[in-house]
Structure 1
Amino acid sequence: MADTLSGKVAIVTGSSTGIGAAIVRELSSRGAHTVITYESPAQKAAADVLATSLPTPATAVLADMSQIEAPKQLVEVALANWKRIDILVNCVGVAVNKPFEEQTLEDWDLLVNLNGRGTFLMTQAVLPHLTKNTGRIINIASTIDAGTKGMIESFTKCWARELPPKYGCTVNSVSPGPPRTGSFAAAGEEQMKILQPIIDQTPVGARMVEPDEIAYAVAFLAEERARWMNGVHLVASGGLFID
């Protein structure tokens, strides 16, 4: 892979495992330095292994994105290490796998604070430091979550109009189809029984999307030659979900 992102610095939230980790690996393979974030001490080992296995410099940071101080902390780490921020990937997210009737106020607060507020505050924290005229903001939305991840799609549309004239950046989103990740598998057998018939209808192939396939879509939007891609909602679902 050519070093098309050589010298760029990327913050990827929620990136110790799964889709976030795949995005870090893809960006690093193109030459980017990366800030890897993990949500709890239990994820530290995975984040450290990822950071040391990359071809470019990276640092792993404990940052609970449901807490309001986390975005500022990540910005400070990026600037202290590399004195610049070029790419922000808002990947962190959580799902509550319960029937609607069983969901609690605590569940709601977790979803909104992490998925919604975390993305909102992280983007605000990065903007003053985002490299002028070449910055990239990429939000990971979802094809199967109409709640807080739907909020991310709305953020993307609004920010894509408002922010580029001020910062020269682009703002786009990527929505994965059902992904083959550990967190998704943790939804349990019953969830998969419901989902499998839907997956079987995927035109390109009756399977879940692999994390590296999502990472490739993100890296494409991060490239300098994607400078005219703005306000795009890129759906990587094998044609399962077509607008």
Structure 2
Amino acid sequence: MSITGKIAIITGSTSGIGEATAITLASQGATVLVCGRDTIRGEEVLKIIRDQGGQAEFVSCDLLDPQAPERIVEEAIRLWGRIDIVVNNAAMVSNKVIDNISMEDWDRLLQVNLKAPFFLIQSALPFLRESKGTVINVSSINAIRNLSNNLIYDTIKAGLNHMTQGLAKDLLKDGIRINAVMPGGTKTPLLKEWWQHMTMDASIAEQLYIDACSDPNNADPQQIASVIAFLASEQASWVNGAIIPINNGVHL
């Protein structure tokens, strides 16, 4: 996929789509900065990558911290001196009826799901300009199809789509490509967290997650990661400002 030697930052890459993306990009020759809150899982992902002959490092970060995006970029530059690929994958969910939504709920999801992706791109911008790099934002099919009691998440993912295309337009002159993918249901811990919010019962959420993992309409993380890897590669050099649904047509 022609990403050998590229430096990739991937947020939320200690599990799910982010983990699959980190492993996939590393297997195709990229050097990966694995980013996440869970240090133990981060080290496990590093081991998988290194055992397969790939190169990666881990940085512990919480994107609720407004300073985290800048620190991630600083770590990548300290380690390798360049940035070629940014994958904004980290996300939070919140499932509440409208009457119970608080200002804090909005602030938390805005910070992680929209502001952090923007400021990570902004912090990396000087280096992306040098490398003529690329950004892939992980949105959601919920950006175009609302779910009940999922208002904040769905609204912010729609904002991420709009931001993706706005950045693609503004950065076209710099040779930086910005695209997004919109996964549907995917077998990840975030899906389990979503069920936990919906049911407020861990045992019910666990069973619903098990059922979801056997549902053929729900993707494996690797199916999403493969599209992200394509967008990160030179084979997608003429793809810019695209918002790509990845859900086997379930949204149609």
Match of 1:67 in 2: 65
Match of 2:171 in 1: 163
SS in 2 for 1:228: coil
CA RMSD of aligned residues (A): 2.2
Match of 1:19 in 2: 17
Deviation, structure 1 residue 172: 0.4
Deviation, structure 1 residue 219: 0.4
SS in 1 for 2:130: coil
Match of 1:175 in 2: 182
Answering whether residue 228 of structure 2 is matched by residue 218 of structure 1, we say: yes
- Identity %, equivalent residues: 31
TM-score by length of 1: 0.87
Q: Which blocks of at least 5 consecutive residues in structure 2 are unaligned?
A: 143-152
Match of 2:45 in 1: 50
In 2, distance between residues paired with 1:133 and 1:75? 14
Match of 2:97 in 1: 99
SS in 2 for 1:129: helix
In 2, distance between residues paired with 1:13 and 1:149? 16
In 2, distance between residues paired with 1:190 and 1:49? 27
Deviation, structure 1 residue 87: 0.2
Deviation, structure 1 residue 130: 1.3
CA-to-partner distance for each residue in 1:30-75, whole Å, 9 max, x for gaps? Answer: 1100111112xxx110111101220322111111112221111111
Question: CA 1:34 to 1:190, structure 2 compared with 1: closer, same or farther past 3 Å?
Answer: closer
Q: Where do 4+ consecutive residues of structure 1 move more than 6 Å?
A: none
In 2, distance between residues paired with 1:16 and 1:69? 20
SS in 2 for 1:157: helix
Q: Which moved more, 1:7-16 or 1:49-58?
A: 49-58
Deviation, structure 1 residue 98: 2.1
Q: 2:155 aligns with which of 143, 147, 169?
A: 147
In 1, distance between residues paired with 2:27 and 2:129? 21
CA-to-partner distance for each residue in 1:162-209, whole Å, 9 max, x for gaps? Answer: 1020x211110001001111221232379599xx9xx99xxxx84211
Deviation, structure 1 residue 22: 0.8
In 2, distance between residues paired with 1:217 and 1:136? 14
Match of 1:186 in 2: 193
Paired letter, 1:228:
W
**Matched-pair contact (CA < 8 Å) for 2:34–2:56:** yes
Paired letter, 2:27:
S
**Whose helix fraction is larger, Structure 1's or Structure 2's?**
2
Match of 2:27 in 1: 29
Q: Which moved more, 1:91-100 or 1:129-138?
A: 129-138
**Matched-pair contact (CA < 8 Å) for 2:82–2:131:** no
